[in-house]
Structure 1
């Protein structure tokens, strides 16, 4: 089975670039022999059927579709495709005002507000570019259709980046802090590994080993130092242990106070003594004040 998967991957690495080249040649008006087109289509169909059979067998052996797909498709490809799908799904969740992974007992801290203007500006520029290219390519229908699809997808991609941050806020649970950014960063920080928390604004972030900077609008407002590193995987899945995490929240002070309360040691319960008298009720501790009438003030002396 492993040899078959390797052969399939090798053919796929050669097939997809060849398909792109054929598409570009067709758009450019180059005449391609029918035999070459038929061979390309047959190769694609054979890869699809073979992949389906291998996937079914892997799923029977592994028992999970995710594990079977992970053996069949390289991890970087899965992560790229999964990221694109999560962005498009985030648009629908954003329109429905839904949030991902939020439970009733979680404390929610949004973090996408300070990037909204920038992302909307990018989307507007992409929309203007879409209209301009549609006008310039009006005499080439095939090229116009391809560029239009790419431009529309670019607009959706930019909006999806912002939507993914909106529907995935930071979460503080009873035992962990879940930090997220867009659809590609999701780090779980156990509370027992947090050594210190500082509220500080940082606008310059250098790429340093062992640090994770989740900047929003080029700024972070909270610095978290850990006693032990946690894994924050890179975009394509490579492991990245970090001991310092910088993040941002729309209300950074509220997140700081919530974290401080969660990290504070629980007060020890004093043992109740049976001989000690019961505390008096609040009304008995408050003295009763009886209002009294005061004597009128004397008349003022007329000025000399």
Structure 2
């Protein structure tokens, strides 16, 4: 239950930041999901109005309206989560994110090499663990890979994988650049 409460709080913070247009620098990963999320939002909004108009019982209509509006707010919050929580690079390492649901930090001293390369995954989970490989899957795919010094692999999706890999390689000056 506490996990869902944490999601709830992060959803409201993401929504607030998106509405306030709080700038967030980093590398986005929403391109494959953007149309789908907007389609769900539009369909849900139409469904909310339709149910309000066709339900003849005032109490049932009120309950359905409240639940439908709350569901719409959540969908906007999820969309906001993807928009305001990009992957980010700082002096300490890289933060790989999946909206407000998942975040993993990789310190620079753990990064062995990085490369771009698209992979498709049959399981479309947000976080997929297969042995020493953890994949943060967006729309069934990943396109950036980080190999760590402890022989683990972290795969994730970025809208501009080549730009992200180039930025990561610039942060690893003592290591030779990887070949893509």
Flag whether TM exceeds 0.5 (same fold). yes
TM-score (norm 1): 0.52
Does residue 112 (structure 1) correspond to residue 112 (structure 2)? The answer is: no
Give 1:226's match in structure 2, choosing from 138, 144, 148: 148
| Larger Rg belongs to | 1
Give the distance between the partners of 1:165 and 1:128, measured in 2 at CA: 23
Give the distance between the partners of 2:133 and 2:46, measured in 1 at CA: 38
Does residue 177 (structure 1) correspond to residue 177 (structure 2)? The answer is: no
Q: Which residue of 2 aligns with 1:261?
A: 170
Does residue 154 (structure 1) correspond to residue 78 (structure 2)? The answer is: no
Q: Which residue of 2 aligns with 1:84?
A: 8
Q: CA deviation at 1:141?
A: 0.7
Give the distance between the partners of 2:11 and 2:33, measured in 1 at CA: 16
Give the distance between the partners of 2:135 and 2:71, measured in 1 at CA: 26
Q: Which residue of 2 aligns with 1:96?
A: 20
Contact 2:121 2:137 in 1 (8 A): no
Contact 2:88 2:94 in 1 (8 A): yes
Give the distance between the partners of 2:16 and 2:95, measured in 1 at CA: 23
1:106-140, CA deviations, whole angstroms, 9 ceiling, x for partnerless residues? Answer: x6222223311110011111112212211221x21
Greater relative CO (CA pairs within 8 A, separation 6+): 2
Give the distance between the partners of 1:96 and 1:228, measured in 2 at CA: 41
My pick for the range that moved more, 78-87 or 207-216, is: 207-216
Q: State the aligned residue count.
A: 171
Give the distance between the partners of 1:202 and 1:218, measured in 2 at CA: 8
Contact 1:88 1:156 in 2 (8 A): no
Q: Which residue of 1 aligns with 2:138?
A: 216
Give the distance between the partners of 1:82 and 1:217, measured in 2 at CA: 24
Q: CA deviation at 1:90?
A: 1.3
Q: After TM superposition, which residue ranges in structure 1, 4 or more long, deviate above 3 angstroms? A: none
Richer in helix (by share): 1
- RMSD across aligned positions (CA): 2.1
Q: CA deviation at 1:254?
A: 0.7
Q: CA deviation at 1:205?
A: 4.7
Does residue 196 (structure 1) correspond to residue 120 (structure 2)? The answer is: no
> Structure 1: 5+ residue runs without aligned partners?
1-76, 230-242, 267-304
Give 1:252's match in structure 2, choosing from 161, 171, 178: 161
Q: Which residue of 2 aligns with 1:42?
A: none
TM-score (norm 2): 0.85
> Structure 2: 5+ residue runs without aligned partners?
176-180
3-state SS in 1 of match to 2:26: strand
Richer in strand (by share): 2
Give the distance between the partners of 2:174 and 2:9, measured in 1 at CA: 42
1:37-69, CA deviations, whole angstroms, 9 ceiling, x for partnerless residues? Answer: xxxxxxxxxxxxxxxxxxxxxxxxxxxxxxxxx
Give the distance between the partners of 1:209 and 1:152, measured in 2 at CA: 41
